[in-house]
Chains A and B, each alone.
Chain A
Amino acid sequence: MLEIHRDVCGYCGCCVSVCPEGALELIDAYLEVDDQCTCCGICAKVCPVGALEVRDEEKI
C-alpha cells in the first residue's frame, strides 16, 4: 500500500501530476489516494521531500 507521511508532505501536487492511474488528488492541504493505486512507486520516486512510501503489506 502507499503510505503518505503527512508530517513530511509539502502538499505540492508533484506526485499527482505523474500518477498514471489518476489515483492521487490534492485536496487543499490534504493528499488523498484512492483504490486505483497500483503501488507502482512513481509518486514516491519523484516526491521532492520523500513523503511517499510503498510498503509491502506482508512485511508490516
Chain B
Amino acid sequence: MSHISSKGLYYTIFGTLIAMTVVTVAIARIDLGALNTPVALAIAAFKATLVILFFMGVKYNTPLTKVVAASGFLWLIILFGITMGDYLTRAWIGFPGR
C-alpha cells in the first residue's frame, strides 16, 4: 500500500472512536424503548466502519481489497439475515388450539 495517512487523521479517528464509546455508554443510561438495541448497534457499526476504512487502510487500497472487505460483511448479512428469517416466520403457522 503506497498511501500514508497523516498523524492528524489517525488522532481524529481515534478521538471519534473514544467519543462514540462515551456516547454508547451515555445512551445506555437512557431508555429508548425498542430503539435501545438498534441505536447501540448503529454506533458500533459506525465505529467498525471507521476502523476498517482508516486504521486498516481499506479506503486507500485496491478495488480487490475493498471487495474482500465487503464480502466479509455480505456473508455476515447472509448469516444474520437468514437466521432472523427463521425467527421472524416461526409464528406464522399456528398450532392447533392456538
Q: Do A and B come from one complex?
A: no
